Amino acid sequence: MKKLIALILILVITSFVVVSKDDQSLSMKIAIENSKNPNPKNKNWEYVKDRLFDGETENVYKLKEPILIDLTNATKQDSLAVEEIIKELRTILPNKTIDYFNNFTDKNYGDLQIADYNKKIKGISVYELRVNTIKLNFEDRMPNAPFAFHTVSIDGKNKIYRTEFTKYGGSIHNENSIIFSFNKVIPYEKRKRNIQYEILRTLCYINPDKQYPIQYDRKGIFETPDFLPDQTRFNQLDQFLLQKLYSDDFVEQFREYMYVNYPWRYASSFTNKKMHEFKVWGIIIGVGIVAFILMFSYFQNNKFKYSYLNYLFPIFLILLYFINFVNLASYLTSFNSVIGLKSHIFFQIPLAIVVSILMSFFLWGSEKICLKGNENFSYQLILKVSFTFITFILPMSLIVILNWGQEGMVETMFPYLLFVLGLAIGRGLLLYLNHFSESLVKEKDLELSRLKEAKAQAEVKMLQSQINPHFLYNALNSIASLAHTDADKTEKMALSLSDLFRHSINQKEKKVNTLGDEIYLVRNYLEIEQIRFGDRLNFNIDVESDLLEVEIPMFILQPLVENAIKHGISKIEGQGEIILKVKKKDNSILISVQDNGPDFPEGLVSGHGLQTVYDLLRFSYGDKAVMSWYNQPQKEITIYIML
């Protein structure tokens, strides 16, 4: 019961987590919240978030230190503008090395060849120095050039977008190489603004494929991926972005901002989507394994009276869990969808009920028709695994074909296919383990049964060996008591005892005896005791003739008669009466021994003889034999044996 409660609690908790109380998705809630209260800190970081991150990974483009600049064909005005820009950058990024290439390396950029790439200057390879160098090439105005291609190398891949020339000229990016072509009449400030724009845009990469939700009155340089050097200015937001980007713990700061200002699932997915999905799958698989173990342990020991329910209830639980896991995955990874309470209660759960009824009937019916129960285990296992796979894959295949067609079937079905394959193999593994454990249990039970049988046989033999000495002891006492008073009776008793034991010895290897032989032994015993008691003892034996060949455990009657004499007749002074009756009653044998001695004491009858009979009955018949004793209406001890 505890396992079932745990399974239900897992379902309730996962449902409670994923079901939304309103119709707004997480993305909509975030957008509304940002539009209502974009405080200064959020405004700065949102500027960074929207422009540098793609919502997939934490990786952003930036140049590694040192940041170097190389000039080619620069005029005096160009050099002066670049010098001022470098000074401004050093102010913005005081902890970074920003310098001219030839000043830092004492070499000219063009003098270094491919063969020099592995050489190091100030501990840095020439190749890394070239990669982190912004090469500015100033050429004459390109006539009749309506546009140029602006390219930036990011992680070994060129990002290209189209940029239109201003009336003063334009620029072309080739990796970190920027080609300027200015008209001679262009003002110095205009020239400097274009150079600054290109250098700053080379320091970071703005994603051209994103939509930026926050709009500002005055556009910054990093505001948009569009080429707008004349319409943008380097503002406080740009400065914040650049300073954070080139800080040593930029990713850690951004991650902290995201987790503080956004729901954890959105923050986790945005900063590293693949890792977030890996965590989500880890959560789902972990919960699924726990639920699977609980289901297995519950259904392994709990079988319903009707075999169909053994299929229906597990499949219904599996479908409920599958729906909840799909909801959980959607809740943790998809932020544009909403799982409503009404949809979950009035559509998903009823759908699970209907589908589970159909699937369980199909699986139950298939196995019922194809498996007769006399097949070998391997054949049964293969069929059951195959039927399980078909049962779970068929409904989803029909849904996919009806909604997406056969073209997108493989891609859409692949995750579910893995789930069903794992489910079928899991059932096969459990069937095998269950079969293996049952075989072990049967083998152990058989071994235990053999041990119990051997023990019972040993105990029966021991009890039988205990009867003979006990009887011998009483008989010899009787002979001894007569030896000095009546020689004839003593001789007759000794001969009767000898005859009795001669018969018993011939039967000693037997566990059972016919009722006739047991009556003969009892009669000899009573005759011996009658010699000892004389006229004080009378006995009567009444046995139905058709029962004389029925087999019963040896020495089961003699202790009853002996007990009647020892604890009954010997305790009275008058005439003693013993009556032994054996008759058939309702396909059973009823044995009774009556005497007129003192009543049985209350509670269990004690004494070695009666305990021996009780143990013999227990070992021989189990619960099919009952021994009872009564004082009213007459003193009597009975044995009831069911045939």
What does the pLDDT read at residue 330? 83
**CA angle, residues 102, 105, 106, in degrees to nearest 5:** 65
Q: Output the CA torsion sign for 125, 130, 134, 137.
A: positive
What does the pLDDT read at residue 604? 52
Report, in this order, helix, strand and coil percent for the chain, each rounded to 5. 60, 15, 25
Domains defined for the chain, CATH in brackets: 63-245 (3.40.390), 270-441 (no CATH)
What does the pLDDT read at residue 238? 92
Q: Which two tokens stand for residue 128?
A: 């890394």
Beta strands in 19-115 (DSSP E): 67-72, 98-100
Residues 6+ positions from 330 with CB-CB distance below 8 Å: 18, 337, 339
**CA angle, residues 444, 450, 456, in degrees to nearest 5:** 135
Q: Is the pTM of this model over 0.85?
A: no
What does the pLDDT read at residue 80? 95
Whole-number Å distance between alpha carbons of 222 and 216: 12
What does the pLDDT read at residue 301? 61
607 in the Ramachandran plot: left (φ > 0), alpha (ψ -120 to 50) or beta? left
What does the pLDDT read at residue 523? 87
Question: Prior bond to 633 cis, omega within 30?
Answer: yes
Backbone Cα Rg of the chain: 50
From residue 181, alpha-carbon distances to 167, 354, 515, 592 in Å are 11, 72, 128, 129
**CA angle, residues 405, 407, 410, in degrees to nearest 5:** 100
What does the pLDDT read at residue 38? 55
Beta bridge partners of 591: 582, 639
Whole-number Å distance between alpha carbons of 238 and 200: 9
Residue ranges for the chain with pLDDT beneath 50: 142-174
DSSP secondary structure of 302-361: ---SSTTHHHHHHHHHHHHHHHHHHHHHHHHH-SS---BHHHIIIIIHHHHHHHHHHHHH
Residue where the block lists tokens 């959560």:
283
Whole-number Å distance between alpha carbons of 408 and 401: 8
Burial per residue of 253-270, b for 16 or more beta-carbon CB atoms within 10 angstroms, e otherwise? ebbebbeebbeebbbbbb
How many Cβ atoms sit within 10 Å of the Cβ of residue 82? 21
Nearest to 299 by CA among 317, 284, 324: 317
